[in-house]
Amino acid sequence: MRHRILSAPLALLALMIALPSSRAADAPATPLTLEQALAEALEHNFAIRQARERIRQQEGVLTQVTAAALPGVSAAANYQKSSTQTIQSSTTAGESLPVFVPTGRYWRMSITARQNLYAGGGIRAAVNEATLSRDAATLQLKATIDDALLDVRLKFYAILLARAQVAVEEQNLVVLERQLRDVNVRFEVGSVSNFERLRAEVAVASARAPLIKARNDHRLAIEELRRAMGRTEIHPSTASDRSIEVAGELPAERLAIELQEALARAKVQRPELQRLTRLVEAAESGINIARAGFLPTLAVSVGAELRKGPTDRFTDSLRGWRAGVQSGWNVASRATAGQVKQAESLVEQARLAREEAELAVEMEVRRAIAALTQANELVTATRKSVEQAEEALRVAEVRFKAGTSIQLELLQAQSALTVARTNRLRADHSHSVAAAQLHRAMGESEIEYVSPQ
């Protein structure tokens, strides 16, 4: 199941929040499919929700930085009634000037608009840095989603494995109990000894322990899936092993892919590498921000003022417009030189982090390929062993009923079949896990991110 989500942060958040909830706390008997579990995790997983908030944070940073490139408007007003003359500080066109306030009443209102014309390229570089940081946060969200959905998928597979293991152990116990009944009948007629009957009873008792463990593993797997999905609500009267019932079987489809193809896909598709590339570009913009300290700045301002005139009547107030130009240049700044060195170091650190991540991704792909190769071989081997074990048990039962073999051979054949079925389940589970981890290592996600044109 694939969802298409725009990479624009606001559209991304809106579409994620709009996904239908798959909570089934009030109806625990409804089977939960893998697609429903992934959709619920996409909406409620705590790591994903935190990553969304980090995008909102970067949106705020971008808005704050962009404001420096837009005109700034400020307004001020004051009213005072005094019996003595006072001196107030007035800020006009960026400069602080004294204002003598006479005795009596006094009022003053002003509005000023200021626009930066040139800041050595620092504003443009800051906006570019904030934009790249926002894009990096979006890619981090994608990586977080991929990790969270992979975790949900693996937890879902763990439930399928535990459920199938319970079925195998229950089937084994049923067969052993049937054999015990046959032995009891044979003992009554004197065809078997008391020792053989005792051995059959021991086999039945011993088979209950792995069944108990398998059922407990199933309960724990359900709780792990509930945590991965972010489902915090559970009906108090519902047992933990019934709070979630899953539908489906372990996928058995084979996946074959060449190592070089997998590495090429990972290099292009992994969001972690894309994010680090954005951070390198953002760090390079930081150098331009630091170097802007060596260049002059230029800004213009325009404003209007209204203040008390010679009389107390408001109509006699003094009013007028003013305009100004402000410029500054820090000619020799050792601090700016230090900031440039820091920015250059941050760029190199970001590049090294990207190279380290590329190596880690390559190793992850290689491990996933090796695990998948091993899983493919185990699946083939275990399926053949199950067929052989079933045939061996059939022959052992025929021989035991015919009296040509002892009970121990029958019990050993049944035990071998249980082991073979367990190994097959684990091989299928290992194959499913290896395939899912390979898809994640190559950067293939449950979600497609489409950049808006």
pLDDT band at 66; cut points 50, 70, 90:
confident
**Number of folded domains that form the chain:** 1
In a domain, 319, yes or no: no
Complete DSSP assignment for 78-126:
EEEEESS-EEEEEEETTEEEEEEE-SEEEEEEEEEEEEEEESTTHHHHH
In a domain, 79, yes or no: no
Query: Residue 285 is part of a domain; what is its CATH number?
Result: 1.20.1600.10
What pTM was estimated for this model as a whole? 0.72
Could you read off the pLDDT of 145-199 as tens digits, one per residue? 899 999 999 999 999 999 999 999 998 898 888 888 888 888 888 877 888 888 8
pLDDT band at 88; cut points 50, 70, 90:
low
CA–CA dist 119, 210 (Å, integer) = 73
**Highest-confidence segment of 82-96, 264-278, 294-308, 387-401:** 264-278
In a domain, 286, yes or no: yes
Complete DSSP assignment for 333-381:
-HHHHHHHHHHHHHHHHHHHHHHHHHHHHHHHHHHHHHHHHHHHHHHHH
pLDDT score of 22: 40
CA nearest neighbour of 442 among 452, 434, 451, 432? 434
pLDDT score of 28: 45
**Highest-confidence segment of 62-71, 96-105, 206-215:** 206-215
pLDDT score of 362: 94
In a domain, 193, yes or no: yes
In a domain, 84, yes or no: no
Which residue did the predictor score with more confidence, 417 or 90? Answer: 417
Structure-token match 């007028």, residue found:
320
In a domain, 247, yes or no: yes
- Expressed as residue numbers, the domain containing 251 is 3-74+119-295+334-450
Name the β-bridge partners of 87. Answer: 100
All residues at 6 or more sequence positions from 416 whose CB lies less than 8 Å from its CB, including other chains: 389, 392, 393
Structure-token match 């390559």, residue found:
362
Name the β-bridge partners of 89. Answer: 98
Reply yes or no on whether the pLDDT at 10 is more than 80: no
Reply yes or no on whether the pLDDT at 144 is more than 70: yes
In a domain, 257, yes or no: yes
